[in-house]
Amino acid sequence: MTRHFLADDDLTADEQSQILDLAAQMKQDRHRFTPLAGPRSVALLFDKPSTRTRVSFAVGVSELGGYPLVLDSGTSQLGRGETIEDTTRVLDRQCAAIVWRTFGQDRLEAMASVSAVPVVNALTDLFHPCQILADLLTIRERFGTTRGRTLTYLGDAANNMANSYLVGGALAGLNVRVAGPKNALPDDRVVERARRLATDNEITITDDPEAAAGADILATDTWVSMGQETASSAERLATLAPYRIDAAAVQRARDTAIVLHCLPAYRGNEISADVLDGPRSAVWDQAENRLHAQKALLTWLVEQHE
């Protein structure tokens, strides 16, 4: 059966861990693994802007011996109304996998329902699971393990990153605390999904920025996600201000705490410049780890498919 990666919990905890092990190996020996030699092609489709995801998948597919076929919706027939299903049936006969950044999760599910090759979520409105694999790899590098560590996400807690921290973090054994204003908290269905995946780890949702206290990892993301530009009113941004990761928030966390941000960052909004550019910030390792984590993910998915 073709395996897809549409949401963080499309992997079991063991599978997630195996992929992170492989990612660490691939990082050590970057050009040793060439499962896409041929070259086999991977379609990389973008309905929204991207820097990190586009670069890391294109570089990653090349390093795996494959060919990255990058398509923007604006320059393909999908953007002119060709159906998802018709597009998928053309791509899956020529490509080893399809990676797609789009809006609704239902669009990705529609693709996966007809695709004969693995489909990967490169960000939807609901989840950003490839980012969380990179974040988990970064946490492993800094702390040796994810299990039992506490990650506090502060900010827009109703977005794709908060959702993926909940579900992917729960799977990895992190205690996940998500804090944001009452009008920007995660959907109950996502929280329940995370709680079902958690074992001895805790999942906490709160509007109290004190959730930063004692955290090993502080994480945040933009206050205005792609496609939600109407959410950038001064009034809404003011409600988010108490959840900014600044020096005071870092002070509340553990002495050894690191700070994550998937980027792009808006200094002075969700994170202060001194923190993003300071010694606790792990964001450049985190951004590089997109490459290694996604190479491992693609390798694993393609091997499952063979």
Q: Tell me the site size for ligand NVA, rule CB under 6 A.
A: 10
Helix axes 188-197, 160-171, angle to 10 degrees: 20
Q: Interface residues for ligand CP in 238-267 (CB under 6 A)? A: 262-263
Binding mask 107-126 for ligand NVA (x = CB under 6 A): ----------------x---
Interface with ligand CP (CB under 6 A), residue from 131, 163, 175, 272: 131
Q: Quick check: 87 binds ligand CP (CB under 6 A)?
A: no
Q: Which does 282 bind (CB under 5 to 8 A by kind): ligand NVA, ligand CP, none?
A: none
How many residues does the structure list for the chain?
Answer: 306
Active site residue 262: yes
* Sheet strand arrangement including 67-72: 67-72, 41-46, 95-101, 119-121
Residues 6+ apart with CB under 8 A from 72: 45, 46, 79
* Cα–Cα nearest to 204, from 230, 185, 229, 227: 185
* Cα–Cα nearest to 217, from 169, 159, 277, 168: 169
Interface with ligand CP (CB under 6 A), residue from 41, 53, 88, 299: 53
Q: Quick check: 59 binds ligand CP (CB under 6 A)?
A: no
Name the active-site residue from 262, 286, 292, 294: 262
Nearest distance in Å: CB 159, ligand NVA: 5
Q: Which is nearer to ligand CP, 6 or 203 (CB)?
A: 6
Q: Which does 11 bind (CB under 5 to 8 A by kind): ligand NVA, ligand CP, none?
A: none
Q: How many CB atoms lie within 10 A of CB 6?
A: 19
Q: By the 8 A CB rule, do 224 and 264 touch?
A: no
Q: Interface residues for ligand NVA in 239-268 (CB under 6 A)? A: 262
Name the active-site residue from 128, 149, 244, 280: 128
Active site residue 130: no
Among 30-38, 189-197, 199-207, 219-227, the segment contacting ligand NVA (CB under 6 A): 219-227
Per-residue tokens: 284? 């450049």
Which residues on neighbouring strands pair with residue 150, listed in sequence order? 175
Q: Running DSSP on this structure, what letter comes out for residue 40?
A: P
Q: By the 8 A CB rule, do 179 and 151 touch?
A: no
Kindly give the pairing relationship between strand 175-179 and strand 203-206: parallel
Among 25-33, 144-152, 155-163, 265-273, the segment contacting ligand NVA (CB under 6 A): 155-163
Residues 6+ apart with CB under 8 A from 248: none
Residues engaged in binding ligand NVA (CB under 6 A): 123, 128, 159-161, 221-222, 225-226, 262
Residues annotated as catalytic are: 101, 128, 131, 221, 262, 290
Residues engaged in binding ligand CP (CB under 6 A): 50-53, 123, 131, 262-263
